[in-house]
Amino acid sequence: MKEQKANTNIYSNSKTGNSFRFRMYGWHIIYPLCIYHIILIGTIFIAELLIGNGVEDYMKCQILGTLAALPVIYLRFYKENLVVIGAGEERPKQENIEKVKSAILVILGAACIGVGFGNILTMSPLARISQGFAEANEHFYGSTLLIELIGSAILTPMLEELLYRGVIYERLRFFMGKKWHGIFLSSLIFAMVHLNLVQFIYAFGMGIVLACCMEVTGHVYGAILAHMTANLIAVLNWASKYGVKLNPSYSEVDIPNYIPSKISLTPDEISHI
């Protein structure tokens, strides 16, 4: 109990000056981001030395990095949020059946919005001229179907949602006292770690959608499942063209679009969720 009170004081709106509170709150946003990137990048670096750094090895190294960072983000930061600021307590509670129904609708809706938004961006001129976007897709879809399903559709959404919605968004929401301010800033932070313009725009839009998904479902698991579903659609869409080996010849990619019209896209137009 003493430890819990001490932790609560860290987040409490004390009578200290605004400048001090700003620095303190900023630290509690930056700190988990730094730990996340140190563990992820460090593990990937070691994995590349042991496994290789080819296109086909990228997602394998990403999986190892995600597995290393996941328990730290969950146990050290997400669980702390639950204890200290009571994440999710202020959200409206629903009956179990209604909660399941609304969660399913919201998750499917969020995934469809993500796929649709991704299609709009991939068919835009930005996707055609972005070399960084093309290179990112080449790495993301460079492995086999099983590896992509584990990495892109399961582990990566789980880790990113625990960090960016379960930790960063919840803390911003608590510190700022306004839901939409927290949604906007957490989405902007999420977008900034994507290092090309197309993915920046996509990540910012999806960050807003996933935070809203978390608000409606009342739990970060809603955002996790929505993110997983969107990524799963992307991976399966790619696999529908190439089967088990997703990227046999990236220079000859011709993937059908997500929408029923089956518009063919060029390699640099395929968006990673």
Q: How confident is the model at residue 209 (pLDDT cuts 50, 70, 90)?
A: very high
CB neighbour list of residue 248: distance below 8 Å, 6 or more residues apart: 242
Report which of residues 123 and 97 the model is more confident about: 123
- Average pLDDT, stretch 34-59? 92
Residue 209 near residue 199, CB atoms below 8 Å: no
List Cα–Cα distances, 267 to 129, 139, 190, 272, in angstroms. 12, 12, 24, 11
pLDDT 10s digits, 70-85: 999 999 999 888 766 7
Over residues 129-138, the mean pLDDT reads 68
What residues are paired with 245 via a beta bridge? Answer: 144
Both tokens of 112, joined, read: 């469809």
Torsion of CA 50, 51, 53, 59, to 10 degrees: -130
| CB half-sphere exposure, 138, CA atoms < 13 A | 14
pLDDT at 250 (0 to 100): 39
| CA neighbor of 267 nearest in space, from 12, 255, 103 | 255
Q: String of b and e for 131-165 (b: at least 16 CB within 10 Å)?
A: eebbebbbbbbbbbbebbbbbbbbbbbbbbbbbbb
What's the distance, CA 155 to chain centroid? 10
